[in-house]
């Protein structure tokens, strides 16, 4: 089994696919551009002192800066554009029966699964590198007298970004493996992350489940890898207890989302290997 | 060498038994037709042996278990031609070649064989059904596989398309490759196949060389102005195995060694002057109907 060969096969399949091109181009364009909306804001919430914080590297670790805001934008971009790509690369093959034809032609089911998994890993790696590159570039231009060590003070931001992409993409992939219908899967994926999980959490809280427990729902954990950096706001503005209640710490979200990623992949693998295709 | 052997293969969809206890052996060089009406389990059988469907029971073995991934030595089409619609013929074939571990090569000869060379730059979505089917046949030949599998290869094609595909299949069969072909079209199997297995309701009713499935009786179509007289006379002949009264003639079944040319003389000797006499072998359609009807 050769991962490079599997990736080559995926490349041949999708290099000229217009939907994937569009989604990837939108990600590539919007990730660096969206942050500049910060310059257009007339009024900032009172806990953000200046729009500069969106564009500059933090003075020291633990303070908010461009790594956080770009990460937060990337959170939305990867959830939307890249998550849909993860559904599409399998969905279009189910629809056109090229999934079954690939297996008939000689890929083992395991190889086929690995071809998709390695594509998802590769997308996540490249998306994270792009995030790092954009952030360093924009931050370098906007931070006066930036030093390399200041630029790289980011609390493992790129690694967290990679885990976040893997979290979204492996969850999206699980949904398409489970439901096998691209349109239904895209709808379920988008609405689960945006609405359904939040609805379930609120319902549980309504029935007196402690709110801290509901933080461990999968997509909330993944989101907390690059949240809106509210917890870095000076404590005087919003109490630290409040922050603790709604957000997981970086190490905690990294650990729990890694577990979720393993579960999503293991479940998709099991289903994929045992069902008619 | 045994190319394929199945033992007790079965597949259930809930309460429906799509395939029951299928035992089948296909040897190298055979052109094996799996014949059966729609819903008899042909595609299910092919789906299982191609690892697309999971069998509910039983097992199968390719090439006597010699190869770790036997499907790399098989070229197959199951049901419909399956390609990515936004890619052209050449791009789609390149994917098949990469899957089969064949380095990039020129696909013109394959496309030429199926008369698609002039459309190799066109997207698959722009092809007619016949062209799609022909591209699928070209794809099965990539990598010179030992076994080719076709599932209802002429289904849905217009007469011209059917003729083209049959012609290609005949050429492939002449290459001494092992071919497995599912079909519900008797004429297709009879023309192309050396061996046949007859399936109905998921059960294998008969299997063997086409010649052994066909009975070796001779069939004589005969008629005379005095039909009743002729019929009575035929019943007195000791060699006659069966007499069937048809609208146009009387159908007489006699052993292979019966000298049919003597029949007109025998009739004339009895003052019966025949005006219709055709001697033929039994065809697969008659056998197929007889076998499937007997099985209920």
d(CA B179, CA B166): 13
- The whole-number pLDDT of residue A47 equals 66
- Whether B282 and B214 have beta carbons less than 8 Å apart is answered as yes
- The whole-number pLDDT of residue A237 equals 55
A192 CA to centre of own chain = 14
Contact residues on chain B for A108, CB-CB shorter than 8 A: 51, 69
Contact residues on chain B for A13, CB-CB shorter than 8 A: 84, 87, 95
Interface of A with B (CB under 8 A): 5, 8-9, 12-13, 16-18, 92-93, 96-98, 100-109, 274-277
For chain B, give every domain's residue range: 2-213, 218-282
ipTM score for this prediction: 0.90
- The whole-number pLDDT of residue A97 equals 96
Contact residues on chain A for B80, CB-CB shorter than 8 A: 97
Distances from the Cα of A191 to the Cαs of A12, A76, A94, A194, B38, in angstroms? 31, 13, 22, 5, 42
Per-residue pLDDT reduced to its tens digit, A159-214: 999 999 999 999 999 999 999 999 999 999 999 999 999 999 999 999 999 888 89
User: What total number of domains does chain A contain?
Assistant: 1
Contact residues on chain B for A4, CB-CB shorter than 8 A: none
Please, which residues have CB within 8 angstroms of residue B138's CB and are 6 or more apart in sequence? B89, B93, B107, B110, B111, B113, B114, B116
Q: How confident is the model at residue B250 (pLDDT cuts 50, 70, 90)?
A: very high
The DSSP H or E segment spanning B236 is helix B227-236
Interval A85-96 mean pLDDT: 97
- The whole-number pLDDT of residue A191 equals 97
Please, which residues have CB within 8 angstroms of residue A235's CB and are 6 or more apart in sequence? none
CB of B254 less than 8 A from some CB of A? no
Axis crossing angle, helix A109-142 with helix A3-14, rounded to the nearest 10: 80
DSSP A28-78: HHHHHHHGGGGGT-SS--TT---THHHHS--SSTTS--HHHHHHHHHHHHI
Nearest CB to A5: which of B47, B78, B98?
B98
Interval B265-288 mean pLDDT: 82
Per-residue pLDDT reduced to its tens digit, A234-265: 554 555 566 666 788 899 999 999 999 999 99
Nearest CB to A8: which of B76, B96, B98?
B98
Topology adopted by domain B2-213: Rossmann fold (3.40.50)
d(CA A193, CA A198): 8
**pTM exceeds 0.90 for this model:** no
Q: How confident is the model at residue A1 (pLDDT cuts 50, 70, 90)?
A: low
Pick the CATH number of B218-282 from 3.30.43.10, 3.30.70.100, 3.40.50.10130, 3.30.230.10: 3.30.70.100
Per-residue pLDDT reduced to its tens digit, B161-191: 888 888 888 888 888 789 999 988 777 787 8
Min CA distance, B20 vs chain A (Å)? 18
Question: Domain of A139?
Answer: 3-274
């Amino acid at each position: 089994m050769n991962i490079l060969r599997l990736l080559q096969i995926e490349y041949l399949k999708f290099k000229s696919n217009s939907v994937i091109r569009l989604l990837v181009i939108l990600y590539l364009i919007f990730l660096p551009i969206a942050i500049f909306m910060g310059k257009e804001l007339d009024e900032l919430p009172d806990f953000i002192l200046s729009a500069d914080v969106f564009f500059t590297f933090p003075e020291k670790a633990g303070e908010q800066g461009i790594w956080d805001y770009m990460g937060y934008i990337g959170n939305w971009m990867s959830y939307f554009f890249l998550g849909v790509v993860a559904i599409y690369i399998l969905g279009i093959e189910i629809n056109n029966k090229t999934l079954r034809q690939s297996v008939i032609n000689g890929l083992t089911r395991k190889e086929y699964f690995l071809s998709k998994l390695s594509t998802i890993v590769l997308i996540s790696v490249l998306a994270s590198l792009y995030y790092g590159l954009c952030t360093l570039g924009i931050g370098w231009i906007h931070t006066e007298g930036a030093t390399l060590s200041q630029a790289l003070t980011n609390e493992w931001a790129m690694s967290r970004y990679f885990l976040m992409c893997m979290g979204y993409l492996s969850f999206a992939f699980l949904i398409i493996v489970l439901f096998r219908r691209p349109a239904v899967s895209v709808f379920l994926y988008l609405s689960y992350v945006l609405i359904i999980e939040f609805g379930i959490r609120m319902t549980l809280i309504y029935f007196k489940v402690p709110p801290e427990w509901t933080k461990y729902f999968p997509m909330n954990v993944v989101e907390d890898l690059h949240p809106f950096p509210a917890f870095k706001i000076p404590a005087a503005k919003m109490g630290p207890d409040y922050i603790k209640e709604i957000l997981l710490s970086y190490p905690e979200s990294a650990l729990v989302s890694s577990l979720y990623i393993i579960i999503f992949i293991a479940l998709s693998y099991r289903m994929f290997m045992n069902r008619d295709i | 060498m045994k190319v394929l052997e199945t033992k007790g293969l079965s597949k259930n969809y809930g309460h429906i038994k799509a395939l029951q206890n299928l035992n089948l052996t296909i040897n190298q060089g055979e052109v094996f037709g799996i014949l059966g009406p729609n819903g008899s389990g042909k595609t299910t059988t092919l789906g299982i042996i191609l690892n697309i469907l999971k069998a509910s029971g039983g097992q199968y073995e390719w090439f006597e278990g010699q190869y770790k991934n036997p499907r790399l030595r098989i070229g197959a089409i199951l049901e419909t031609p399956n390609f990515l619609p936004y890619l052209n013929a050449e791009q789609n074939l390149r994917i098949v070649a990469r899957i089969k571990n064949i380095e990039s090569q020129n696909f013109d000869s394959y496309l030429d064989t199926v008369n698609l060379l002039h459309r190799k730059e066109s997207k698959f979505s722009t092809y007619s059904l016949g062209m799609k089917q022909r591209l699928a046949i070209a794809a099965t030949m990539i990598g010179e596989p030992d076994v080719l599998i076709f599932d209802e290869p002429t289904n849905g094609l217009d007469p011209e398309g059917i003729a083209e595909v049959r012609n290609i299949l005949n050429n492939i069969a002449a290459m001494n490759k092992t071919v497995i072909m599912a079909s519900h079209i008797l004429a297709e199997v009879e023309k192309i196949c050396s061996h046949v297995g007859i399936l109905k309701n998921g059960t294998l009713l008969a299997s063997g060389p086409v010649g052994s499935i066909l009975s070796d009786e001779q069939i004589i179509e005969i008629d005379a102005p005095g039909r009743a007289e002729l019929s009575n006379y035929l019943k007195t002949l000791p060699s006659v195995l069966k007499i069937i009264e048809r609208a146009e003639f009387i159908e007489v079944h006699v052993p292979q060694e019966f000298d049919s040319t003597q029949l007109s003389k025998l009739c004339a000797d009895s003052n019966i002057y025949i005006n219709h006499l055709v001697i033929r072998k039994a065809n697969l359609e008659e056998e197929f109907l007889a076998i499937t009807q007997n099985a209920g």
